[in-house]
Amino acid sequence: MMMKCNDLETNAIAYMDGKLPPAQRNAMELHLAVCPACRERIEGFTQVLGLLDEWEGVQPSSFFQTRLTARLEEEAVTQGWWKNAWRAWIPRPVTGSLFAIVFAVVVTVGVVLLRYSPTPSPVEMSQPAAPAVAVVASAGDETALYQDLPLLEDWEVLRNFEVLQELSNTTPVMQ
């Protein structure tokens, strides 16, 4: 079975680590013997792995842990007892959850208050306001009010207070 260049990409690391089954390993070696591009790629991978094997990580000094612990204790003292107590009593996930719960309660109460606040019904809104009738009645005598009864039955006119004032100014007062 002849291996393709795409198969090399998926099996390259296993080949270099020696973890490919013998049949796939033989197919890989046959492909590398024929394909110079794949052979060059495997050589590049091998060089990179060699460099990574030679690399040593930075080791902290022997006193690093001691200095770190002392610094953390110093920071704890400078922050004050109340911050340390707050962190000890209420861990961060609880604080976030508590904030989320309080926010949800505030939003719920706000929605309930807005939704169930008393609003005038359409019937109440279409009824005339009492002061408008009182202004007309006090402006003239009752006979003038009876003469303009068809006008008073028109609810749209009653909503417009300026029209009522004009009406009371133009009606003659009978004595």
Mean pLDDT of the chain: 75
For residues 111 and 105, give the distance between their C-alpha atoms in angstroms, rounded to a whole number: 10
Instruction: Give which of 3, 43, 45 is closest to 23, Cα–Cα.
Output: 3
CB 134, CB 140: distance < 8 Å: no
pLDDT (0 to 100) of residue 134: 47
pLDDT (0 to 100) of residue 105: 95
pLDDT (0 to 100) of residue 50: 86
Is the full-model pTM beyond 0.85? no
pLDDT (0 to 100) of residue 103: 92
**More confidently predicted of 125 and 65:** 65
For residues 154 and 172, give the distance between their C-alpha atoms in angstroms, rounded to a whole number: 21
* Percent of the residues in the chain that have a pLDDT greater than 90, as a whole number: 10
